[in-house]
Structure 1
C-alpha cells in the first residue's frame, strides 16, 4: 500500500494526516496554531512558528504509525487563503505573516471604495476587495513599513510558504493566487495594471511562478528529512486553497443542484460553474460573485465567505466550557431543550470580521436577567447560521436550482446545530463521512500528481464517500426566517453606528 500526507494549515490547528491510496485516514496529528493579536485588528503569525507547527505535526504523525517513510509517496498542503507571507530578496523571512482575518488596512480599503476601485477591478479579477486580500495588506506595508516594503522578494500565501520550507522552491498555487487581486481572470496571469491601480507596482517582480494543485513543486530536502522523519526526495505537490479542498471532498460539481457549506473558521458557501461571466453578464448581475480557479479544467469555484463562523463560538470556550474546553455535549443538550428561534436574544458573530460592512463589531443584543447559558449558546449558534444564510441568499440567486447543502467543518458533529441549519434554510443537509476535508483534499492532489489516480474524479469515485442526510422541519422554517430578518435589521443598526463612529474619528483627525 502507498501512503500520502495531507497537511492542513488552518486558523486554529495545523494538522497532518496520513492516508492510504483508498483515501482512508490512517492517523492524524494536530498542533494548536500560534496566532498573534498584538493590536486591534492585527492578526499575525510568526513565520518560524508556522513552519515549526508544520514540522511538529509531521513528526507527531510519523511517530504514531509503524509505516516506513519510503512508503509515503507524496505530500501536499491545503491552507487558508489570502493574507500575506513574505520573503526578503535573500529568501529569508521578512516579517510576521499577516492572516486573512487581519483588518489593519481598513482605512485603505474604505478609500478604495470611495474611489470606486472595487467596481473598476471586478471585470478584470472577478474578485471583491477587502482587508484580508494580499493587495490590501501589501499597500498597508508600503504606507506604514517602508523598509519592509522595499525588501519584499516574494509574496506568498500560507501553503506557498510551507511548500517553500519543505522544498526550497518558490511558487504560488493557482487556486489560491487566482483570488489574490494580482491575477487577471481572463488572461490567467498576473496583471501589472492591477498593481498600478493599487499603487504597489514596485512588487510585480516579487510575484512567484504559478503552479497547478497537482503539479510537482519540488522534493523534501535533506535538512527537512532530518528534522521531520520524512524521506529526502519525497515529492511535494502544489496544493489547494482550503475552500477548494472542502468543495472537492464534499462532492459538489457543476450540476448546480448542490452547494458546499463550510462551517469552520470561515463561513463559506460554494458552487461550481463552467466558465466565467462575460462583460454583459457582469453588467446585468446585481451582485459581484467571487470566481476562483477550480481543480478541474475550465471549471471555477464561486463562493461567498466571511470569518463569521464557528471560531466565534470557540472564542467563548473559557466562558461556556470547563478547563479551557467547550463541553459540546452539554451545550447541545441545553440548546435542544429551548423552543426554536423563540428567544429575543441576538448575537452578531463579527469577532474576526463582518459580512455586512467593514469595521462592524460583534456583540449580544436583547440580553435580560432571565436568559440562561443555553440561551447564550443558542443565540451564538443562530447568529453564525444567520451569517451563513446571508451568503446562501446571495448564492441561491446564482444557483437557483440548489436544493441540497453539503456541509463540512467541525459543527457537523452537532445534530442539533445541523437541524437548525436545515430548518432555517428549508434545504436538505448532507454531511460527508470525512473527518478532515483539508487533509484529504491535499493528499488527493499528491495521489493524482504521482499517478496513483489518473484524475481527481476517479480518485474520489474510488474512495466512495458516504453522506448522512438531515431533512428540514417545516414547522420551524418561518420562525427562523422571521428572526433572521430581525437579525439583518439589527446588524444594519450596528453598521450605522460604526459608520458614524468612523466619520467622527476622521473629523477628529482633521
Structure 2
C-alpha cells in the first residue's frame, strides 16, 4: 500500500492526515499553537512554532504507523493565506508573522489606492486592498519597523515557510501568491508594476511554482526528527481555500462550496482569469493548473460561535451548546446577530465594523442567542452567494465543509438561507485532503486532479431547502442587511475606545 500526507497549517493548529490510494484517512494528528495579540487589531504567530508543531505531529503520526515509511511517498501542504514571514539573508525569521486576521494596516490600504489607483490594482491583482492581504503588511513593516524591513532578503507565506524548513527550498505557488496583492493573477507572475510603485525590491518575492510541483525531498534533519524517509517527495501545496476546493472536488465549472471554519468561505470555480467582479469578491488562482476561483469571506464565522461559547458558555461542549437550536423558531424570537467580531471582508471591506446583537429582550435564553449567531454567520455567507448570482452564476447545489457541516440543524439553516441543495461529503477534512490530493497527483497516482477527486471525495447526503423556510428567511435577510448601514457610523466612532 502507498500513502501520502497532507499538512494543513491553520490559524490555531496544524493538522496532518495520512491517506492511502483509496482516498481513506488512515491517521490524523493535530497540534495547536497560540496567537500573539499585543494590541487590539494585532494578530501574530511565531513561525518556528508552526515548524515545531508540524514536526511533532509528523513524528506522532509515524510512531503510530505500522508499515515501512518508504510507503509514504509524498507530502504536501495547505496553509492559512496572506500571512507575512520575513527572512534575512541567512534565511532566519526576522519578526513574528503578521497573520491574515490582523487589521492594523488600514492606512497602508488607503496608501495603495492613493499610489496606484483602485482600477489598476484590480486589473493586476483582481482584488481590493484589504487589511488582511500581504502587501499592506509589508508596507506597514517598511514604515514602522524599517530596521526589520531593511534586513529582509525574502518574504514567505506561512505554509511556504514550513515547507522551506522541511525541504530546504524557498518557493511560493500561485494560489497563495494570489493573496498577496503582488501577483499579476491572469499572467501568473509577480507584478513589476506593483513592486516599482511601492519601491519594493522584486528579489524579495520568492520563485513561483505550480501547486502540484515537486520541490524536493525532506532534509535529513527533518527525516531524523519525524521518522519519515529522506526520500519522501515534497510538493508545493496550496492556499487553504484552494486546497479546500480541491478536497471537496471543486474542479470544474458550476461547482461551489461553503466552508465554515474560523473564517467562512463561499467559493466557486472559474475556468478563466479575465472575468470582472469589480473587486466585490476575491478572485484567485486555483491549486489546479491554469484554473481560478472566486470567493467571498466572512472573517468571523466559526470564530463568532467559538467566541460566544468561551465568553457565555465556557463549560459547555460545542455539541451541548448547539443542542436545542432546532427548537428555536426562525429568527431566534426576534434576535439578529452580525458576525463582525474582527471587522468584515465580503461584502463590507471594513476593518472598523464590529458585531451586534439586535433585538434582545428579557425572554431570550442562551439557546436563542446560539441560534441567532448561527443564522447571522449564514446570512453573512449568503451575501457572497448573492454577489455570484447577481453576476450571472447559477448556484443551486453547494458542497459544505467545516464546523457548519457537523450539525443537522445548521445544515438545514444553510439550505434554507442559501435556497440551494446542501451536499455533505463523507470526509469533512477539506484543506488537508486537498493537500494530500496534490501529493497523490504529484506522485502520479492519477492522471489528473479530477480523477483523484473521483476517488478521494464521496457525497454522504443532500439537504433540500424547505420552501416556507426559504420565504421566511428571505424576509429576515432584508432586515439583516440593514444592520451594517445603521451601525457603521457608531462602530467607527467607537474605534478610539477600543485602543
Tell me whether 329-338 or 150-159 shows the greater mean CA deviation.
Answer: 329-338
Give the counterpart of 1:276 among 273, 277, 284. 273
Alignment of 1:32-47 (within 5 A): 32-47=32-47
Aligned to 1:60: 60
Give the counterpart of 1:261 among 248, 251, 258. 258
What TM-score, normalized by structure 2, do the two folds share?
A: 0.94
Alignment of 1:200-211 (within 5 A): 201-211=199-209
Q: 1:262–1:168: structure 2 CA closer, same or farther, 3 Å change rule?
A: same
Aligned to 1:186: 186
Q: Structure 1 residue 333 and structure 2 residue 323: aligned?
A: yes
Q: Distance in 2 between matches of 1:364 and 1:203?
A: 46
Alignment of 1:254-403 (within 5 A): 254-256=252-254, 258-277=255-274, 282=276, 288-323=280-315, 326-355=316-345, 356=348, 357-403=350-396
Task: Give the Å deviation of 1:464.
Answer: 5.4
Aligned pair count? 494
Q: Structure 1 residue 474 and structure 2 residue 472: aligned?
A: no
SS at match of 2:200: helix
Q: Distance in 1 between matches of 2:290 and 2:176?
A: 16
Task: Give the Å deviation of 1:219.
Answer: 1.1
Task: Give the Å deviation of 1:368.
Answer: 2.1
**Is the contact made by 1:101 and 1:353 (CA closer than 8 Å) also made in structure 2?**
no
Tell me the alpha carbon deviations over residues 349-394 of structure 1, each in whole angstroms, 9 at most, x when there is no partner: 1222313223111232322222100011011111111111111111
Q: Distance in 2 between matches of 1:204 and 1:20?
A: 40
**Is the contact made by 2:247 and 2:433 (CA closer than 8 Å) also made in structure 1?**
yes
Q: Structure 1 residue 222 and structure 2 residue 214: aligned?
A: no
Q: Distance in 2 between matches of 1:193 and 1:300?
A: 22
Tell me the alpha carbon deviations over residues 209-245 of structure 1, each in whole angstroms, 9 at most, x when there is no partner: 0011111111111111121221113111000111111
Tell me the alpha carbon deviations over residues 161-192 of structure 1, each in whole angstroms, 9 at most, x when there is no partner: 01001011110112110232111123321112
Tell me the alpha carbon deviations over residues 393-418 of structure 1, each in whole angstroms, 9 at most, x when there is no partner: 11222353211111111220101011
What TM-score, normalized by structure 1, do the two folds share?
A: 0.92
Q: Distance in 1 between matches of 2:235 and 2:251?
A: 23
Over the aligned positions, Cα root-mean-square deviation in angstroms equals 2.0
Q: Distance in 2 between matches of 1:487 and 1:115?
A: 35
Q: Structure 1 residue 27 and structure 2 residue 22: aligned?
A: no
Task: Give the Å deviation of 1:431.
Answer: 1.0
Q: Distance in 2 between matches of 1:365 and 1:83?
A: 33
Aligned to 2:174: 174
Q: Distance in 1 between matches of 2:164 and 2:482?
A: 46
**Is the contact made by 1:430 and 1:467 (CA closer than 8 Å) also made in structure 2?**
yes
Q: 1:79–1:214: structure 2 CA closer, same or farther, 3 Å change rule?
A: same
Tell me whether 329-338 or 438-447 shows the greater mean CA deviation.
Answer: 329-338
Q: 1:116–1:370: structure 2 CA closer, same or farther, 3 Å change rule?
A: farther
**Is the contact made by 2:13 and 2:33 (CA closer than 8 Å) also made in structure 1?**
yes
Aligned to 1:508: none
Aligned to 1:435: 428
Give the counterpart of 1:421 among 385, 390, 414. 414
Alignment of 1:112-131 (within 5 A): 112-113=112-113, 117-131=117-131
